[in-house]
A = this chain, B = another copy of it.
């Protein structure tokens, strides 16, 4: 009788584990949502395990834009618990010699992606614990070898799903990479002589706000308090596009509607907005390394 109960308990625990203990699997790509590509990836993952919890980061990364892929991963990943597996597929070199890798960060997050710079920012902010190259002889959807243009489906979704479901361990992904991963060039903010110089990393596209690379620590050197005015100069390839002072507010509503405001965004980087308006639209400001910003009191 005891043996019956024991076996019942073992079977149940195994079943519960299968049902409930998968890690979240989060997809990002530049595929858009208009066709069947994202659903093909999720179908492959669901075929791996029916108890995965799947989510989307975004699939609206502009086509081939690896920098934005890197940025969006870094924007969202820290809010997911350790163990979460991210599959990011912005992959203009699909089918070429670029490597396919899984990064495990010091925080315990996993990133499955082509090694093309996508990992630049999470590697820096979350720390590299280990990177492994995906061994496609064992980690590839069966019967997919004839296809050379959709590793998102055939390699990344498949491997991410097996990792998230616990079917393979991180070690079973493939051999450790010891030669480093591809890093995109990017700027760090500079503080000197009471001025902070940075770049406009990206636009908060939905609202037209500018998100700079000036982090809280660097900005703190200005010793500005909410309510103070800041002098803001924005330039494109060295040519001044905008030069004016504005309030440093805690939030948009600290200035009247239609007024400019500097604030710390949700990642605690200095940002520029119009309350209830689009700064990037009004002043035709873009993002990237050639868009610079200088802040002073």
Contact = CB atoms under 8 A, between A and B. Distances in A.
Contacts of A253: 92-96
Given A36-B75, A58-B33, A266 B50 contact: no
B34 A206 contact: yes
A81 B46 contact: yes
Given A30-B206, A50-B53, A54-B55, A36 B72 contact: yes
Interface in A63-121: 63-64, 72-73, 75-77, 79-81, 84, 92-96
Given A64-B276, A75-B36, A80-B47, A265 B8 contact: no
Contacts of A58: 33-36, 38-39
Nearest to A154: B266
A12 interface: yes
A279 interface: no
B205 A32 contact: yes
A130 interface: no
A84 B46 CA distance: 10
B46 A251 contact: no
Interface residues of A, number: 79
Contact of A266 (B24, B46, B75, B147): B147
A201 B255 CA distance: 31
Given A8-B9, A50-B24, A63-B207, A72 B35 contact: yes
A149 B266 contact: yes
A266 B211 CA distance: 37
A135 interface: no
Contact of A81 (B47, B59, B265): B47
Contacts of A5: 1, 4-5, 8
A268 B147 contact: yes
Interface stretch (A14-22, A183-191, A192-200, A229-237): A14-22
B265 A35 contact: no
A145 to B, nearest CB: 11
A134 B40 CA distance: 27
A60 interface: yes
17 contacts: A1-B5, A4-B5, A5-B5, A8-B9, A34-B58, A35-B205, A36-B57, A36-B72, A37-B75, A43-B76, A43-B81, A44-B79, A46-B81, A63-B207, A94-B253, A147-B264, A147-B266
